[in-house]
């Protein structure tokens, strides 16, 4: 997934869910959709300056969480039930990458890393 726009939010949430799944490997992990929205609200402190203004407004994290979770569900990385309970699937583990690297637009790196 590219790291721009809503895709960047999806990467952040995927990495967060991968880390949660790893921490709770021996149990069945269930996360409320509201917890994802809260995670996105907290992420504004760190990444908000890179997000469009509408994604930074109070309450926008709920819609953003729904959009991101829809995308992750279509990619078969999570399941959700009617009550808003999210269950990360094993495939989400491939997004456990550590801290995101933030670069200015137009900046490139001299070496590229392949994720296989």
pLDDT in tens, 50-73: 888 888 888 889 999 999 999 999
Percent of the chain past pLDDT 70, that is, above it, reads 76
pLDDT confidence band for 76 (50 / 70 / 90)? very high
Q: CB 24: neighbour CB atoms within 10 A?
A: 13
- Quote helix, strand, coil % in the chain, to nearest 5: 55, 10, 40
Question: Can you give the pLDDT at residue 2?
Answer: 43
Is residue 95 exposed (0-12), middle (13-18) or buried (19+ Cβ within 10 Å)? buried
Q: What is the mean pLDDT of residues 79-93?
A: 91
Question: Can you give the pLDDT at residue 5?
Answer: 57
- Residue 111, pLDDT > 70, answer no
Q: For the chain, which domains are there?
A: 5-95 (1.10.10.10)
What is the value of pTM for the model shown? 0.72
- 78-80 sheet: strands from edge to edge: 31-32, 85-88, 78-80
Q: Which residue has the tokens 């895709």?
A: 7
């Amino acid at each position: 997934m590219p790291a721009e726009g809503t895709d960047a939010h999806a990467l952040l949430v995927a990495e967060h869910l991968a880390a949660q799944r790893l921490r709770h490997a021996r149990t069945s992990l269930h996360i409320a959709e509201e917890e994802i929205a809260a995670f996105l609200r907290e992420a504004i402190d760190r990444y908000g300056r890179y997000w469009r203004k509408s994604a930074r407004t109070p309450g926008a994290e709920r819609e953003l969480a729904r959009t991101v979770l829809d995308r992750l569900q279509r990619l078969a990385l999570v399941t959700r039930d009617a009550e808003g309970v999210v269950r990360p699937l094993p495939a989400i583990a491939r997004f456990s990458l550590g801290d995101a690297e933030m670069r200015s637009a137009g900046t490139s790196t001299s070496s590229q890393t392949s994720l296989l």
